[in-house]
Structures are given as structure tokens and as C-alpha cells.
Amino acid sequence: MSSETIPRAGNAWWRDEFDALRPALVAHCYRMTGSYHDAEDVVQETYLKAARGVDAFEGRSSVKTWLYRIATNTCLTELNHRNRRVLPAGLGAPADDPDARVHGDDSLAWLEPLPDAVLGHQPGDPGDVVVLRESVRLALIAALQYLPVRQRAAFLLREVLSWSAAEIADALGVSVPAVKSLLQRARGRLDALDPDGPPPRTPDAGVERALLDRYIAAFEAADAAAIRAVVQDDFSLEAVPHPVWFKGVHVCLPFLERHAFAAGGTVRLLPTRANGQPAAGSYRPDASGTLRAEGLWVFTMTGDRFSRAVKFLDPDLVTAAGLPARPA
């Protein structure tokens, strides 16, 4: 039975479908905003708007389409006067000195990762799962931030949700030719940006996890040589909210040795996933020596090694990824 045929007693008939769609709505709003926290807020606002507007819903579209339309337009309103979110690599060239001064800059709008745990278990066609993973790749989310918000919305509704030009036009309140123009410009811009080239081949889960385990063991042991064995020559290292970043093992490994390993054996990493990629929650001791969540690492695997590691210094992301605030 479709949602449109369910009795509307109490105007609660649509809520089960909202609950089922919630993880996918969060993913959609994350693609739009580049922020896990903003995506959660927008989805909550979408629920409130749907609750207020349910009496006006006439069933001319599915409940799913109706909710995505509300979510998309809420994102457009929220993003109307905001700067694009960035990663350190989007700000300029990498530093070539491992002793370069690293400092935080909270004045910038930083991109955030999306913990896979937020999406929950996504049943269905394995091909749909692959599309979901690729559609939240960190490099793609960063590239989407370069698109004007209406281009971004049109692109995502078409390429991820497979909406027709007419459906997109109706959602955005523009003409079909205008939608086609938005899509053409968005595709051209993304092709020019070429975020990490074509989507990487999805590696075998066991191989991917084994590589992550090796990196974690090497990092916890402060063993730069062991890290060298699991990263590409052009491995890059970034940490939000620090604008300074590094590229190439000749710079990244000395930086880790002189700075990241300074705490000796006190660091702890726990494996997880974010943006459909390998990730790890990071823990360091507080003043009392108790290990507490520090942030979330997200890794990009190219071939059989890691080519990029981005650390997001936000303890909330660790718990959002399903990991404890304090490791056992």
C-alpha cells in the first residue's frame, strides 16, 4: 500500500515514510551543505515543515518526492548567503617544510565528513549501495561546494536521485530549459575540477580493512617506516581546521615524526567508516591522562595504498561514527 492510500488520521500517515527516508535525506542534505551537523539540522527542519504543511499535500507526487522537495528548498534557503565549505587542500599549495607552523583558523567554513553510521543499514540493490558510497566521497563533496547552490541542487536531483528535468523544474520553481542549463554548467564545472579523477574502484572490503589496520598499528606505534609501507609516494596529510597541509612522503612522514608522534604511545585509533571510505576515531589523553575522543580521520585508498588522510578535529564526529567517547 502506498503512503498516499494510508488513512490520514491525525495527519501522522507520512511519518513512517519520513523515518524510513531519514538516513537518505541526511545524505542528500549533506551533499548539498558539505556539513554533517548542518544536514542533521536541515532534516529536522524538513520534518517540521512537513508536519506544518501536510494538510496541503494533495498526493500528486509520492511522499518521497514531496519530502525531498522540502529538504532541497530548505537547503537552498540555508545556503543562500553562506560561503562554500573547504578542505585545507582547497586553500592553496601544500607546505614543503615539515616544521611549518600549523595553526587553527575557525573563521573559515570547513567541510565536514559524514560518518557511515549516520546512514544506518541500507538494504536493497548492491548497485544502489555503491552509488550511495560514491555520491558522498570526500573529494566529490568538496568539488560540489564550487557549484552555485541551484546548480548543485539540480545536479544532485538528476545524477543521484534520477529525477527528470520536469520534476527538478517543479521542485526548484524554474523552467525545464533553465534546469537543462543548470545541469550543463554544473557538469562542465565538475569536469574542470576533476575531483581525484574518476571514482576509484571499490576495493575488496577485507583488503581495505587490512590496510587500515596496518596504518592504525603503525600510527599507534609511532612507526613512520611502517606508515611509509601503506601510503603512496604522493600521500597528502590535512587536518581541519588547520589551513596548512602537506603532500609527499618526504614531508608528511617527518611532520608525523616531529609533531603527531610527540605524545609517544598515548594515541589510540579505532576503525570505522565515513564518506564510504576507511576512517578512524582518534583519541588522546586529557590533563588527567584519560583517553578522550579527539577527532575523525578519513582515508582515501588509491590502488593498494592510502593516498590521502584528512583529520577532522571534532569529538562529536567520533560518537556520530558509532564509536565511544572514551575507549575501553
In tens, the pLDDT along 89-133 reads: 999 999 999 999 999 999 999 999 999 999 875 545 455 556 666
Identify the pLDDT of residue 187: 95
Of 202 and 100, the structure prediction assigns the larger pLDDT to 100
Task: Report how far apart, in Å, the C-alpha atoms of 109 and of each of 79, 130, 142 are.
Answer: 12, 29, 12
Q: With a threshold of 0.75, does the pTM exceed it?
A: yes
In tens, the pLDDT along 111-120 reads: 999 999 998 7
Cell 576515531 sits on residue? 281
Task: Report how far apart, in Å, the C-alpha atoms of 87 and of each of 82, 136, 238, 243, 284 are.
Answer: 16, 15, 8, 8, 23
Q: Helix or strand or coil: residue 237?
A: strand
Residue 6: pLDDT above 60?
no
Check if the beta carbon of residue 163 is closer than 8 Å to that of residue 157: yes
Residue 9's pLDDT band (cuts 50, 70, 90): very low
Q: 212 exposed, middle or buried (CB, 10 Å; 0-12, 13-18, 19+)? A: buried
Residue 10: pLDDT above 70?
no
Helix axes 15-33, 126-135, angle to 10 degrees: 40
Check if the beta carbon of residue 208 is closer than 8 Å to that of residue 304: no
Residue 295: pLDDT above 90?
yes
In tens, the pLDDT along 13-24 reads: 678 888 989 999
In tens, the pLDDT along 229-266 reads: 999 999 999 999 999 999 999 999 999 998 888 655 58
Identify the pLDDT of residue 262: 62
Identify the pLDDT of residue 5: 34
Of 4-18, 145-159, 221-235, least confident by mean pLDDT is 4-18
Cα separation of 245 and 35, whole Å?
Answer: 21
Identify the pLDDT of residue 125: 47
Hey, which residues does 87 pair with through a beta bridge? none
